[in-house]
Amino acid sequence: MSNAYFQFKQFTIWHHRCAMKVGTDGVLAGALAPIGSINSILDVGTGSGLIALMLAQRCPKAQITAIEIDDNAAAQAEENFAASPWSERIQLIHGDFNDYVSDTKFDLIVSNPPYFTDALRNPDPQRSVARHNETLNYYQLFYHARQLLKLGGNCCLIIPAEAESFVNENACQNHFFPREVIRIYTKMGKPCRRIFITYWMGNNHDLSYPYVHKDESLCLMNSDGSYSAEYRQLTEDFYIKL
């Protein structure tokens, strides 16, 4: 049985009531999202609140909104936010992103979205909602992100590698284009399993993929099973130890 919580250097994530526990995908999204000079962040499908809290730590001046549809996960995320050093800068919205409207336009939208569309459904309804994209598919995510993102802002997703073309197609249909791509390998020599993509929002007349300015790779582990120096460096401000 997994632990009820995960302790980071500056905050604690309780996740025993969440379908999806703290995992590498969420940590990567929180650590890789380009922050620059941003003042407003939207975390779509926050789950336990991991990505929102990592970004609150990385962005001392940013106001962060985190939205979650699941009752238990939303309640737990709100508790995690309240217990963190950044409680005054994080707002939890309990609801469906498809219905979310805001007067605020965000500098950054980030998500570790539902996936495994064609996989067998999990008998646990809560976990099924977290792992499958019937409630929020990629097209809907980009469509609503376009309404909420500032001009010049970024939308970042971590996705399964095999979904890259499909996700880019849905992005393009909503005039989002890949700007930076980071291909994530568990070990070198193994297939790429995840991709972290930063999209920029184009105009309504541009339906082609512009040049991807950066296409890089990140290897998580060395051949002996120890964590790589690049992954340690990426997460050193968060993990107590690796």
- What mean pLDDT value characterizes the chain? 88
CATH class of segment(s) 5-235: alpha beta
Residue 31 three-state SS: helix
Backbone dihedral angles phi then psi of residue 6, each to the nearest 5 degrees: -130, 125
**pLDDT over 70 percentage in the chain:** 86
pLDDT of residue 136: 73
Report how far residue 222's alpha carbon sits from residue 149's, in angstroms, rounded to the nearest whole number.
38
- The whole-number average pLDDT for the span 55-74 is 96
The pairing of strands 5-7 and 12-14 is: antiparallel
Whether residue 152 is predicted with pLDDT greater than 90 in this model: the reply is no
Whether residue 23 is predicted with pLDDT greater than 50 in this model: the reply is yes
- For 95-147, the pLDDT digits (tens) are 999 999 999 899 999 999 875 343 334 444 444 443 434 557 999 999 999 99
pLDDT of residue 207: 53
pLDDT band at 208; cut points 50, 70, 90: low
pLDDT band at 209; cut points 50, 70, 90: low
Helix (H) or strand (E) holding 1: none
Residue ranges per structural domain of the chain: 5-235
Q: Single out the residue of 228, 153, 220 nearest to residue 192, CA to CA.
A: 220
Whether residue 192 is predicted with pLDDT greater than 60 in this model: the reply is yes
- For 156-191, the pLDDT digits (tens) are 999 999 999 999 999 999 999 999 999 999 998 999
Tokens coding 176: 């989002």
pLDDT band at 241; cut points 50, 70, 90: confident
pLDDT of residue 121: 40
Mark out the alpha helices in the chain (DSSP H runs). Answer: 24-32, 50-58, 71-82, 125-131, 138-148, 164-173, 229-235
Whether residue 2 is predicted with pLDDT greater than 90 in this model: the reply is no
Whether residue 194 is predicted with pLDDT greater than 70 in this model: the reply is yes
- The whole-number average pLDDT for the span 199-203 is 83
Q: Single out the residue of 168, 175, 165 nearest to residue 200, CA to CA.
A: 175
